Amino acid sequence: MNQPLYIHEIQDLFDDVQRSEIFEDQKMMTDAVALFPVTKINEKYQTEKQLKDFDLKKFVLSNFEFLGAKVSLQKEDHLPIEDHIERLWDELTRTSYEEKGTLLRLPKPYIVPGGRFNEFFYWDSYFIMLGLQVSGRVEMMEHIIENCAYLIHTYGFVPNGSRTHFLTRSQPPYFSLMLDLLFETTGDESIYSTYYGTLEKEYAFWMNGEAQLENGSAIKRVVKTDSGDILNRYYDAENEPRPESYLIDIRDNENAGTEFYRNIRSACESGWDFSSRWFADGEHIQTIETLNLAEIDLNCLLWHLEKTLAKSSALQQLTEKEEQFNEKAALRRKLINTYLWDTDSGTYKDYHTEKNAVTSSVHIAMLYPLFLGLADAEQAKLVAEKISQEFLYPGGLVTTTKNSGQQWDLPNAWAPYQWLGFKSMKNYGFHELAEQIRDHWCGNVERIYRNTGKLMEKYNALDTESIAGGGEYPNQDGFGWTNGVYLKLKNS
């Protein structure tokens, strides 16, 4: 019988496995499924590890099952790329009606990203939904929303991914945008009423601690500036090494600043793990300071959540709540322009709450105010110029202008920001730039597919003949959000 695996219950064994590097990928052990009761495995381990000829890897393989992501479609199939994606939807579909190892139960089928990622991921799922919409797979779109709602009502938020060790953090809050996408697909406005309580509960998670804040302080995901204004930040409840990158974190923590692990984990909540965007010196992960930042992407997404709550309230004739959420959204819009717009560089940036100034990092999250319609015409023009001059390359949009070796930096192009870039430029009438973004990245995806038969997690925007790199693990194929964004862009 497979037993649910909670990592803290096998801490000694887990620590030994990760430190010994018997698996090339540290995620292997976090995803393992115990074949026997964990207490029995622990007892057996404590006894057998004393033996002279003890083999740790052999012990692990005989006591745990490893259910990795599998993509069986091969280049030999010679499928046109869109047909390949249609088959991949089925390959990447999972069901999880019970807990298995660290895997959380979900009530409905879902789509995993692929490669090493064999679980539901929060913000990935929105970009997957873009492709499901094109493919006419409305039921799976509904399943994704139902799974998010289940997680919010069960845990109070949508975890980073559907694993027990992700229950300390979320990811960029895209649930309200998922509802918009489903409404756009079906025309059924009742979904905003159906999920009203879910929207409120997710909003409460992101605003938890607001009432206790004093000026110039922060609690969890809420910060209060010296002037008494409320903004939000990414945050993780734990200050320990991530199980899925355990030894990497322990090594990086040497000579690092305070709360290194929490800063690392908080950057993971953004989805950008990792980027020079988070580093105080712009170069070294040991200087990571995510907790000191109020981010442009997060605050824009929470504005959208507030506007969605106002719309949902109006549909139910909850006039007082409609006014309340409209006021919150109007104030946040004002604060985004006050704190996160940088006049000197003509773009949106993150706000450093300790320095009371925007950060030096220029990055692609500047697109969010355009994607959501928060920017005025002049701001949009300046952002579009910066995107065109500094971020658009032959293989698509890069995330930053700095090549640090981290995967969310130059030269990598990631699927989410190709869609955000395209849609942002379309929103403000920069149609030629929008089409360049689409054509550059889609052309890159098509070239790599012709050469390898694979759809990758990320792409090299500068050298379109190579496959992207950087980060803590090799480039993955599959790949959920690439499939989704490619289909949506090609059909837009």
Active site positions, annotated: 273, 457
Helix, coil or strand: residue 444: helix
Residue 76 CA to its chain's centroid (Å): 32
Cβ count near 19 (within 10 Å): 11
DSSP string of 8-53, one letter each residue = GGGHHHHHHHHHHT-SSSTHHHHT-EESS-HHHHHHHHHHHTTSTT
**Torsion (CA) 451, 452, 458, 462 in degrees, nearest 10:** -30
Query: Using an 8 Å Cβ cutoff, are 413 and 444 in contact?
Result: yes
**CA geometry: angle 50, 54, 58, nearest 5 deg:** 135
Query: Using an 8 Å Cβ cutoff, are 340 and 300 in contact?
Result: no
Query: Using an 8 Å Cβ cutoff, are 433 and 388 in contact?
Result: yes
For β-strands 293-294 and 230-232, DSSP reports them as unpaired
Helix (H) or strand (E) holding 130: helix 122-135
b/e 41-66 (16+ beta carbons within 10 angstroms → b): beeebeeeeeeeeeeeeebbeebbee
Helix (H) or strand (E) holding 56: helix 56-63
DSSP string of 248-290, one letter each residue = HHHHHTTT--TTHHHHHHHHHHHT--S-GGGBTTSS-GGGB-G
